[in-house]
């Protein structure tokens, strides 16, 4: 087994155990959802740092938000954690702004296909001044996302109707992200919770 596959397998197990120990039908509460999201989110920077040490290019950095208009799907426990974070951690003016943008965005993208959504460049409702307002509990789809080239991300944002993916990514990191999501989803099933994706 090569090192990338081993890391993916470890990340699957880590996500599975994190979710399985905390989320079960009849025993899941809001605090558990927040804890799961925080623990899993904190694992991605550690993985990314390892790849950076190997000299692989990861261009993502604070205040870079070119990809924060793409469609993101999340699991119910992630939505619960985000709502709790909005309600308890955001300053009042930021909270009010975010809570106003969420239904406005939903109305704007209602009925759009994935391709149409991509072409609209609707900024994520959780983005505030170029930063994710719920960063510590952001969905796995966001936490595991990365780019190798900021210029390509900007070009893709400025020409969102292109049919080709605009964010160049590293295959091993895509696999690690996929393994994390699969581990969490499998643990939800075992805990008799439905891993239903929502936008």
Q: What is the mean pLDDT of each run of 10 residues along the chain (199 residues)?
A: 80 96 92 96 90 85 88 94 97 96 93 83 92 96 92 86 76 93 96 90
Q: What is the pTM of this model?
A: 0.91
Q: Rounded to a whole number, what is the distance in angstroms from the first to the last CA of the chain?
A: 35
Closest CA to 169 of 51, 53, 65: 51
pLDDT score, position 163? 65
Element (H, E) at 128: strand 127-128
CB within 8 A of 96, min separation 6: which ones? none
Q: Look up residue 132 and give its DSSP letter.
A: E
Q: What pLDDT score was predicted for residue 20? A: 96
pLDDT value, residue 121? 85
Helix axes 30-53, 171-190, angle to 10 degrees: 160
Q: What region does 111 belong to: left with phi over 0, alpha with psi -120 to 50, or beta? A: left
Which residue is associated with the tokens 């939903």? 106
Per-residue model confidence (pLDDT) at position 70: 86
Contact 3, 169 (CB under 8 A): no
């Amino acid at each position: 087994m090569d090192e990338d596959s081993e890391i993916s397998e470890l990340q699957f197990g880590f996500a599975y155990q994190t979710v399985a120990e905390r989320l079960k039908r009849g025993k899941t509460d809001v605090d558990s959802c927040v804890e799961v999201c925080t623990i899993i989110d904190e694992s991605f920077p550690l993985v990314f740092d390892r790849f950076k040490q190997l000299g692989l290019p990861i261009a993502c950095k604070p205040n870079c938000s070119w990809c924060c208009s793409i469609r993101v799907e999340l699991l119910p426990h992630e939505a619960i954690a985000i709502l709790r974070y909005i309600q308890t951690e955001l300053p009042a003016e930021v909270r009010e702004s975010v809570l106003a943008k969420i239904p406005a965005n939903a109305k704007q993208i209602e009925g759009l296909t994935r391709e149409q959504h991509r072409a609209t460049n609707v900024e994520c409702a959780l983005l505030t001044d170029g930063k994710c307002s719920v960063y510590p509990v952001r969905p796995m789809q966001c936490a595991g996302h990365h780019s190798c080239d900021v210029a390509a991300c900007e070009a893709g944002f400025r020409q969102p109707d292109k049919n080709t993916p605009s964010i160049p990514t590293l295959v091993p990191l895509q696999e690690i992200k996929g393994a994390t999501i699969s581990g969490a989803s499998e643990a939800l099933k075992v805990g008799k919770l439905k891993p239903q994706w929502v936008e």
